[in-house]
Structures are given as C-alpha cells and as structure tokens.
Amino acid sequence: EQFSTEIKPPPVVTPGTLVAEPYSWKSLVTGQPILRLKTTGTKAAMLSLPAGRHVLKFMMSSNLGHHVHMCSTANFTFGDEETIMPMLTA
C-alpha cells in the first residue's frame, strides 16, 4: 500500500452568525441590526439598551450548531409571538 504524503489544506469552516434587530409584528419593515456576531468558535457580546420596552428579533445560523446564553440585570422575556404579544398589550 502507498500512503500519500501530500499535505491537504484544512477544511473551510463557514462562520456562524447571530443578528439582533428591532422588530414589530405590525410592520413588514425591519430595523437596522443593533448587534451582529460572526464566528467559527466562541464569541461574546454585551448589548446595552436604554430603559423601556424593546422588542428584538434574533436570527441565528450555523452549519455546526449553536448555543446562545442570554442574561440581564432586568427581567426580560424571550419567546415567540404568542409569548410576547400578551405582554405588549397589557
């Protein structure tokens, strides 16, 4: 048997992305992203928002999977339309 001694380049890894932008279910127009992460490993970011109510849309993509951990010093709710809308109309 013969073994190849040719050095092969490492495979190309497509970076995963996370984008956060202001969102409204009443409008088809989306806001400009306020946070954008792109990485092939691990990355952290801090998002400071002014006091008040904010609705953000988080979009994540990764070929290899992802894990997102969110925390805050203030109470917040992360969920879909059925979870969020009752709180916005209260």
CA atoms of 32 and 84, how far apart (whole Å): 21
pLDDT of the residue at 1: 61
Which helix (H) or strand (E) element contains residue 57? strand 56-61
CA neighbor of 76 nearest in space, from 58, 64, 59, 62: 58
Give the mean model confidence (pLDDT) for residues 21-50. 91
Parse the chain into domains and list their residue ranges. Answer: 16-89
Q: 78: pLDDT confidence band, cut at 50, 70 and 90? A: very high
